[in-house]
Structure 1
Amino acid sequence: MKKIGFIPLRKGSKGILNKNKRKMVGRPLFTWVLGEAIFSDLDKVYVYTDDQDIIDFIHKEYHWTNKVKALLRSKESAGDTSSTEFAMLEFAETINHDFDVFCLLQATSPFTKRENINACLNKLDDNYDSALTVVNTHRFTWYEDGTPANYNINNRPRRQDFDGLLIENGAVYVTTKEALQESKNRISNNIALVKMPEESLHEIDSENDWIIVEQLLIQRQKLQKKPNKITHIILDVDGVFTDGTISYTKDGEHTKNFDMRDGMGLEILRQFGVKVMVMTSEQSELVAKRMQKLKIENVFLGVKDKYSLLQNIIQKKSISINNVAYLGDDVNDLTNICSVGWSLVPNNATDIVKQHADIVLSKNSGAGAIREACEFIINYNKRF
């Protein structure tokens, strides 16, 4: 049974400029749901968009998986008045209905987890034709004529005694191919419900919504942290190995400065059994040569979605994220900093990452920060 994911993205955004591509906790918004879809039970995940920049991003970024494919959608399906169902049906025709189960995922629902996707998929094994995610909210609702819709005002229930309402949160919709072809709708016939946490009800339609959702995501990632013995450290490069500056020659070539003491710190750290990896958004031959000199084998260059790659690394190496330390300095490191067992940042890192890191080092980047981090890890691991 072939199960596919479908993420429709439009280039235009009325409420928030470039919403789908804008960084949410340091990652483009759409990558939150895309990353979870990759690690779910879906067999293939399609991003359907009229934005060529997103298509190019996906082709370049997710080379480590064969599960993701980006397709260009028509102008008709990306119009302001076009329905999601129109895009779904157009896409289904494009791939000749090559699926058994169709899973619609909304990029504006960054709280979606792989467990939510899998729970909806599993409902189809229980003789349901489709499933969707909902939130159980304990709000009292009213009709416009001033009468209550879901409770008796003379016998106001306590929250713990109130069943509340199930509200569609717009995150995940799953349907069989037969049901989709018959109804031409995202859900139909025998429908199952899957509950998600109440915070997933937040919609991102304004700048205030964005701020609220971002803070909730940061808090969620932090609450999942359970620091353990550090077995792996992942380091950014610019602003960590270097001071974040680049020197250019008249011919356009550039140079970077590295601290030799940092290299020695990493060598000593490896002697204590800690694996060293490097993850940077830059595609640099200079960096590759320096890491080769330091004998660091796991070097990932040109990475924009660092959190998804981190998830792939821990899955392939069968390690826990709580055994990972991360050393970064800027907003594109933020999700990893909020998620790993231990996060460390140089003293001259950006304010946003210093605010959320576990350890703010006393040394600056390119001036002993890595060496200090190595010494912290060695001392910390002694307790194990």
Structure 2
Amino acid sequence: MKKIGFIPLRKGSKGIVGKNKRKMVGRPLFTWVLGEAIFSDLDDVYVYTDDETIVDFINKEYQWTNKVKPLIRSAESATDTASTESAILEFCEKINYNFDVFCLLQATSPFTKKEDINACLDKLSGEFDSALTVVHTHRFTWDQSGKPLNYNPQNRPRRQDFEGLLIENGAVYITTKESLKSTKCRLGDKVAVVQMPEESLYEIDSETDWVVVENLLIERQKREKESKKITHLFLDVDGVFTDGTITYSKDGELTKNFDMRDGMGLEILRQHQVEVMVMTSENSELVAKRMEKLKIEHVFLGVKDKYSLLKHIAQNKHIDLNQVAYIGDDVNDLTNICSVGWSFTPNNATDIVKQHADVVLSKNSGAGAIREACEFIMNYNKRF
């Protein structure tokens, strides 16, 4: 049974300009749901967009998986007035309905996790032909005329005695091919519901919504941390190994400055059975040469979605993210900073990263910050 994911994206956005590509906790918004879809039980994940830059991003960023497939949508299906169903049906015709189960995923629902997707998929194994995600809320509802719809104000129930409501959160919709062909709709006649946390009900339609959702995501990532022995250290490069400055000539990048004490700290850390890896958004020959000199085997250059790659590496190596330490300094490190067992940042890092890192080091980048973090990890691991 072939199960596909479908993420529709448009260039246009009236509420927040460039919303799908804007960084949410340091990652483009659409990559939150895309990353979870990759690690779910879906077989393929299609990103259906009229934005060529998103297609280029996907082709460069997700070479470590064969599940993600960008596809250009028509201008007609990407207008403000076009329905999501019209984009769905156009897409299905393009791929000749080559699937058994269709999963619509909304990029503006960053709280979606692979477990939510899988739970919806599991619902189709029984009597249902479709499923969607909902939120259980204890809100009292009224109509425009001032009439209560779900309770009696004269006998106002306590929260614990009130059954509440199930509300669509617009995150995940799953249906069979037969149902989609018949109804021309994301949902069929026999619908199952899967509950998600109440925070997932937030919609991102304004700058205020963006701030609220971003802070909720940060706190969610932090809540999942546990104390475990550190077995792997991941490091950014510019602003961590170096002081963040680069010398250029007319021919391009010329020099970066590295601290020799950091190299020794990493060597000693490896002797304590902590594997060291490097992950940077820059694609620098100088960095590659320096890491080769430091005998760091796993070096990932030109990475923009660092969190998805980190999860991919952890899955392949059977590593719990709580066994990972991470050193970063800027916003593109933020999700990793909030998600690993121990996160560190140099004293001269950006304020947003210093606000959320577990440890703000006393040393600056390129001036002993890595060595200080290595010593912390070695001392911390003694308790295990």
Q: TM-score range by the shorter chain?
A: over 0.9
Which residue of the partner structure matches residue 203 of structure 1?
203
Once residues 226 and 336 of structure 2 are traced to their aligned partners in structure 1, the CA distance between those partners, rounded to angstroms, is 14
Once residues 16 and 143 of structure 2 are traced to their aligned partners in structure 1, the CA distance between those partners, rounded to angstroms, is 31
> How many residues are aligned here?
384
Which residue of the partner structure matches residue 75 of structure 2?
75
Shift of 1:126: 1.2
Once residues 250 and 97 of structure 1 are traced to their aligned partners in structure 2, the CA distance between those partners, rounded to angstroms, is 52
Q: 1:209 to 1:53 in 2, by over 3 A?
A: same
SS at match of 2:329: coil
Shift of 1:127: 1.9
Shift of 1:253: 3.7
Once residues 286 and 303 of structure 1 are traced to their aligned partners in structure 2, the CA distance between those partners, rounded to angstroms, is 16
Once residues 145 and 170 of structure 2 are traced to their aligned partners in structure 1, the CA distance between those partners, rounded to angstroms, is 28
Once residues 251 and 53 of structure 1 are traced to their aligned partners in structure 2, the CA distance between those partners, rounded to angstroms, is 27
SS at match of 1:343: strand
SS at match of 2:214: helix
Shift of 1:340: 0.2
Superposed, 1:110-259 pairs within 5 Å as 110-259=110-259
SS at match of 2:281: coil
Which residue of the partner structure matches residue 296 of structure 1?
296
Which residue of the partner structure matches residue 365 of structure 1?
365
Which residue of the partner structure matches residue 271 of structure 1?
271
Once residues 247 and 305 of structure 1 are traced to their aligned partners in structure 2, the CA distance between those partners, rounded to angstroms, is 26
Once residues 253 and 109 of structure 1 are traced to their aligned partners in structure 2, the CA distance between those partners, rounded to angstroms, is 39
TM-score of the two chains, using structure 1 as the length reference: 0.99
SS at match of 2:276: strand
Which residue of the partner structure matches residue 348 of structure 2?
348
Which residue of the partner structure matches residue 380 of structure 1?
380
SS at match of 1:193: strand
Deviations 1:168-224 (A, max 9, x none): 000000000000000000001111011111000000000000000000000000000
Deviations 1:79-99 (A, max 9, x none): 111000000000001111110
Amino acid at match of 1:99: F
SS at match of 2:37: helix
Which residue of the partner structure matches residue 319 of structure 2?
319
Structure 2 unmatched runs, 5+: none
Which residue of the partner structure matches residue 52 of structure 2?
52
Asked whether 1:109 is paired with 2:119, we answer: no
SS at match of 1:239: coil
Once residues 379 and 122 of structure 1 are traced to their aligned partners in structure 2, the CA distance between those partners, rounded to angstroms, is 45
Which residue of the partner structure matches residue 19 of structure 2?
19
Shift of 1:250: 4.0
Once residues 144 and 44 of structure 2 are traced to their aligned partners in structure 1, the CA distance between those partners, rounded to angstroms, is 45
Which residue of the partner structure matches residue 61 of structure 1?
61
Once residues 152 and 170 of structure 1 are traced to their aligned partners in structure 2, the CA distance between those partners, rounded to angstroms, is 29
Shift of 1:144: 1.3
Once residues 34 and 376 of structure 1 are traced to their aligned partners in structure 2, the CA distance between those partners, rounded to angstroms, is 34
Superposed, 1:21-40 pairs within 5 Å as 21-40=21-40
SS at match of 1:154: helix
Structure 1 unmatched runs, 5+: none
TM-score of the two chains, using structure 2 as the length reference: 0.99
Once residues 93 and 13 of structure 1 are traced to their aligned partners in structure 2, the CA distance between those partners, rounded to angstroms, is 26
SS at match of 1:92: helix
Shift of 1:251: 3.6
SS at match of 2:46: strand
Once residues 182 and 252 of structure 1 are traced to their aligned partners in structure 2, the CA distance between those partners, rounded to angstroms, is 58
Once residues 45 and 319 of structure 2 are traced to their aligned partners in structure 1, the CA distance between those partners, rounded to angstroms, is 25
Amino acid at match of 2:25: V
Once residues 24 and 170 of structure 1 are traced to their aligned partners in structure 2, the CA distance between those partners, rounded to angstroms, is 18
Shift of 1:41: 0.3
Shift of 1:52: 0.3
SS at match of 2:173: strand
SS at match of 2:325: strand
Once residues 159 and 117 of structure 1 are traced to their aligned partners in structure 2, the CA distance between those partners, rounded to angstroms, is 29
SS at match of 1:173: strand
Amino acid at match of 2:134: V
Shift of 1:143: 1.3
Work out whether residues 246 and 253 of structure 2, in 8 Å CA contact, stay in contact via their aligned partners in 1: no
Which residue of the partner structure matches residue 91 of structure 1?
91
Once residues 249 and 165 of structure 2 are traced to their aligned partners in structure 1, the CA distance between those partners, rounded to angstroms, is 65
Work out whether residues 232 and 277 of structure 2, in 8 Å CA contact, stay in contact via their aligned partners in 1: yes
Once residues 307 and 369 of structure 2 are traced to their aligned partners in structure 1, the CA distance between those partners, rounded to angstroms, is 22
